[in-house]
């Protein structure tokens, strides 16, 4: 069973419904009062109360692209896998070869069902030779914990849900390294992309990772929940002269969409394999057997029937999640929009969608049903936005 945080200010007791049954109220991050003090618009997301925006989500988006944004990501889940067989257990459980990840580095990977469907996409950090930190999407923590526990059976490895031990704060944007230099003596510039190191930030112990979900250079700071307000305050103060702004979930979504990054529940689901999403590279099919390998090998050999593509509308209306993609002449339904929004950076609407493989070539003209109107769209390669050469990698 997944570990459950005890009732605290950050994790309140469940409420009661009219029949007297326990109804879990949304959990609050350790920064809840900070967000309220900043005037955030709060929303329930994956069982948490989270900041949607603090003012203009477009302004927050532009700040991340041009300077930096500060995010509370404590809703993400952390699962620790330790022991002599930790690496072997993760090689068996996940699509990637985690045994090949060096200490202090990270890897993007996936947890797949036996039929190859994606149960979650993950970032896995190797903190020590026999200690890994698996970061799961907020809505999938229980699923990931249960699957890792089941798949680690027979290995000398311990799987623990340690989500309650961590708060997560992200600094994203081209000025993020400049900001962090002011609050830590660690060599920020030496920290490579997809690397993680222990650090002291504003006098507090943290794990500092050069990872993110915005398409920009950036860092994610793992700290004790009790330390989160002090870490947030220190980074905020250091960022005041660099254009740093607090940023919410709304702009995080448009940032990742511009960068062509998939969102679980939209681009990634249990009904699709990594190959449909153009992420077949995460499935290391030449390693020893892992859960889902046979199905993924078959999908690679047969080729996916549908592929994830980018869409650029000819007009000003944005296709949204769930809208139908159509043949522009006959109106026959071909696929489904997974994500869509106006792009603040590009100044035009963009979308991602699944379409038949024979309609996935860049330049293909399709249509989207937008509230009963057949709007023309053109297939483009992902991502829509890529940061300028010279960014940290």
C-alpha 339/C-alpha 21 separation (Å) is 36
C-alpha 77/C-alpha 295 separation (Å) is 27
Contact present, 130 and 59 (Cβ < 8 Å): no
Tell me: pLDDT of 62 over 80: yes
Report percent pLDDT > 70 for the chain. Answer: 93
C-alpha 274/C-alpha 108 separation (Å) is 12
- Kindly state the helix (H) or strand (E) to which residue 250 belongs, with its residue range: helix 249-258
Dig out the tokens for 142 from the structure. 């229980």
The model's confidence at residue 23, banded by pLDDT at 50, 70 and 90, is low
Tell me: pLDDT of 245 over 50: yes
pLDDT at position 22 is 55
Nearest Cα neighbor of 368 from 307, 324, 334 is 324
Per-domain residue ranges of the chain:
15-74+166-258, 77-161, 305-393
pLDDT at position 25 is 86
Report the pLDDT averaged over residues 64-68.
98
For the segment 267-291, what is each residue's pLDDT rounded down to a tens digit? 999 999 999 999 999 999 999 899 9
Report the pLDDT averaged over residues 159-181.
98
C-alpha 325/C-alpha 183 separation (Å) is 48
CATH assignment, 15-74+166-258: 3.30.1360.120
* Long-range contacts formed by 282-290: CB under 8 A, 24+ apart: 282/95, 282/96, 282/108, 282/109, 282/110, 283/95, 283/110, 283/112, 284/95, 284/96, 284/97, 287/91, 287/97, 288/91, 288/92, 289/92, 290/91, 290/92, 290/93, 290/94, 290/95
pLDDT at position 1 is 28
- Alpha carbon distances (Å) from 116 to 180, 287, 290, 295, 389: 40, 16, 11, 5, 35
Report percent pLDDT > 90 for the chain. Answer: 92
Tell me: pLDDT of 14 over 60: no
CATH assignment, 305-393: 2.40.30.110
pTM (predicted TM-score): 0.92
Report the pLDDT averaged over residues 44-51.
97
How would you write 106-151 as a 3-class SS string?
Answer: EEEEEEECCCCCEEEEEEEEEEECCEEEEEECHHHHHHHHHHHHHH
- Alpha carbon distances (Å) from 237 to 95, 154, 174, 245: 41, 49, 17, 10
Q: Does 77-161 match 305-393 in CATH topology?
A: no
C-alpha 228/C-alpha 230 separation (Å) is 5
The CATH architecture of the domain made up of 77-161 is 2-Layer Sandwich (3.30)
- Alpha carbon distances (Å) from 282 to 18, 97, 278, 302: 47, 9, 10, 18
């Amino acid at each position: 069973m997944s570990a459950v945080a005890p009732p605290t200010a950050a994790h309140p007791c469940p409420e009661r419904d009219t029949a007297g049954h326990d109804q879990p109220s949304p959990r609050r991050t350790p920064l809840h009062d900070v967000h309220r003090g900043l005037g955030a618009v709060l929303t329930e997301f994956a069982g948490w109360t989270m900041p949607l925006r603090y003012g203009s989500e477009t302004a927050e988006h532009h700040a991340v692209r041009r300077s930096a944004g500060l995010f509370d990501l404590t809703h993400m889940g952390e699962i620790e896998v330790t022991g002599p067989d930790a690496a072997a257990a993760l090689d068996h459980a996940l699509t990637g070869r985690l045994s090949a990840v060096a200490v202090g580095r990270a890897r993007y990977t996936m947890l797949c069902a036996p039929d190859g469907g994606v149960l979650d996409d993950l970032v896995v950090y190797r903190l020590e030779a026999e200690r890994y930190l698996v970061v799961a999407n907020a809505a999938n923590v229980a699923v990931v914990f249960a699957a890792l526990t089941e798949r680690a059976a027979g290995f000398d490895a311990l799987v623990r849900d340690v989500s309650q031990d961590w708060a997560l704060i992200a600094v994203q944007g081209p000025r993020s390294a400049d900001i962090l230099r002011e609050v830590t003596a660690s060599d920020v510039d030496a920290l490579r992309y997809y690397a993680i190191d222990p650090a002291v930030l504003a006098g507090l112990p943290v794990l500092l990772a050069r990872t993110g979900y915005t398409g920009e250079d950036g860092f994610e700071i793992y700290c004790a929940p009790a330390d989160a307000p002090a870490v947030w305050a220190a980074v905020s103060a250091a960022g005041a002269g660099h254009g740093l702004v607090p940023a919410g979930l709304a702009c995080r979504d448009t940032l990742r969409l511009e960068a062509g990054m998939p969102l679980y529940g939209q681009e990634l689901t249990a009904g699709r394999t990594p190959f449909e999403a153009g992420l077949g590279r995460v499935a290391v099919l030449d390693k020893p057997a892992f859960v889902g390998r046979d199905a993924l090998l078959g999908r690679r050999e047969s080729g996916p029937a549908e592929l994830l593509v980018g869409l650029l509308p000819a007009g000003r209306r944005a296709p949204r999640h769930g809208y139908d993609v159509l043949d522009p002449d006959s109106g026959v339904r071909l696929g489904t929009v997974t994500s869509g929004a106006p792009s603040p950076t590009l100044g035009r609407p963009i979308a991602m969608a699944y379409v038949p493989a024979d309609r996935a070539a860049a330049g293909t003209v399709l249509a989207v049903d937008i509230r009963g109107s057949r709007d023309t769209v053109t297939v483009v390669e992902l991502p829509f936005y890529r940061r300028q050469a010279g960014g940290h990698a």
